[in-house]
Amino acid sequence: MKTQAFRLLALGDVVGEKSTLFLRRRLPSFRGRVRADLVIANGENSSRRGGIDRESAEMLYQSGVDLITTGNHVFRQREIYDFLDGAGSLLRPCNYPARCPGRGYTVCRIGGYSVLVINVQGTLFMDALLPPFEAVEKILRCEEGKYDFAFCDFHGEATGEKLAFASYFDSRFSAVFGTHTHVPTADVRVLPGGTGYITDLGMCGPIHSVLGMKKEIAVEKFLTHMPTRYEVAEGPVEAQGALFEICPETGRCLSAERVAFGEE
C-alpha cells in the first residue's frame, strides 16, 4: 500500500486581532479542505498591541494552528516570555542569544512521524543575531537521527539570504519557507535536492494596506520621515501561505504551491 504524503500548510505573518478572528472563522474548514497534517503560522504580529501575546497565541491554536513561529517582533509583549519558555508549540528564532526566553526549535510527534521544526532569523538588513547558517547546522547535527523530516521558517528581509540558506540546506529540509516581508513571492518550487521552498509566504492580514497597516499612515511616514504609530488596516483579510506535500519515506518534497483564502 502506498503511504500517504504528509501535508504541511504554512501561513505567513498574522497581522492583528482581526486576522486572528478571521483565521478562527475560516482556517478550520480550509485546513480540512487541503487535508493538512500540520499547520504552522508565523504569529509575530498577531497581538492587537503588536508582537504576540498569550491571547493571540491561544486564538491561533483555537483556529487549528499546531505550531507558531515568530521573528523580530517576538519580544514586544513581556507577558509572552513565560509562555515562550513553557510551550513547545511556540518558537522564537533559534539564533537569538541563549539567554533570551524561549526556544528556536522543537521535535513534535504528528501522525506517527517525528517532525523537526526550526525557526531562524536572517541577519541581512536585520538585527545582528548569531549567524543563521551555523545556528541551524548545529541544531541539525544535535538532532540527527531523532526526526523523520524537518521544516524551517526563515524570518528574513533579504531575498538573497533566504535563497542562499535554502540552497545550502537543500535536501536536509523537507521545506524551507520565508516570512517577515508580508509580501508573497512567486517562486514557490521544489529545489533540486528535494526541499520545498518559497522566499516569502506573505501574510494573513488586511489586503488593502501597506504590509497589513493603514495605508495613509505608511504614506505619511514616507512623506515626512517623522515618528509614526502604525495601526492595523480595516477591510477584508486574506490568508496567504503555501502547501507542501512530503514523501514520508524519503522526506523529499513532492509538490509545493501557493495558497490563499480570504474575505470578500
Q: Which stretches of the chain bind Fe ion, using CB under 5 A?
A: 13, 44-45, 71-72, 180
Q: Which is nearer to Fe ion, 148 or 153 (CB)?
A: 153
End-to-end CA gap in the chain: 42
Residue type, 185: T
Please name the residue that has the C-alpha cell 501535508.
Answer: 7
Q: Which is nearer to Fe ion, 125 or 264 (CB)?
A: 125
Catalytic residues: 73
Contact 245, 7 (CB under 8 A): yes
Q: Which is nearer to Fe ion, 46 or 195 (CB)?
A: 46
Q: Which is nearer to Fe ion, 7 or 162 (CB)?
A: 162
Minimum gap (Å) between residue 45 Cβ and Fe ion: 5
Q: How far apart are CA 151 and CA 76, in angstroms?
A: 25
Minimum gap (Å) between residue 47 Cβ and Fe ion: 12
Question: 125 — alpha (psi -120 to 50), left (phi > 0) or beta?
Answer: left
Minimum gap (Å) between residue 201 Cβ and Fe ion: 11
Please name the residue that has the C-alpha cell 477591510.
Answer: 235
| Alpha carbon distances (Å) from 81 to 60, 66, 126, 213, 226 | 17, 19, 21, 25, 31
CA atoms within 13 A on the CB side of 17: 6
Minimum gap (Å) between residue 67 Cβ and Fe ion: 17
Contacts 24+ apart (CB under 8 A), 207-213: 207/235, 207/236, 207/237, 207/238, 207/262, 208/233, 208/234, 208/235, 208/236, 209/233, 209/235, 211/15, 211/181, 211/182, 211/183, 212/13, 212/15, 212/16, 212/19, 212/45, 212/182, 213/15
Q: How far apart are CA 187 and CA 29, in angstroms?
A: 26
Q: Which is nearer to Fe ion, 71 or 194 (CB)?
A: 71
Minimum gap (Å) between residue 18 Cβ and Fe ion: 15
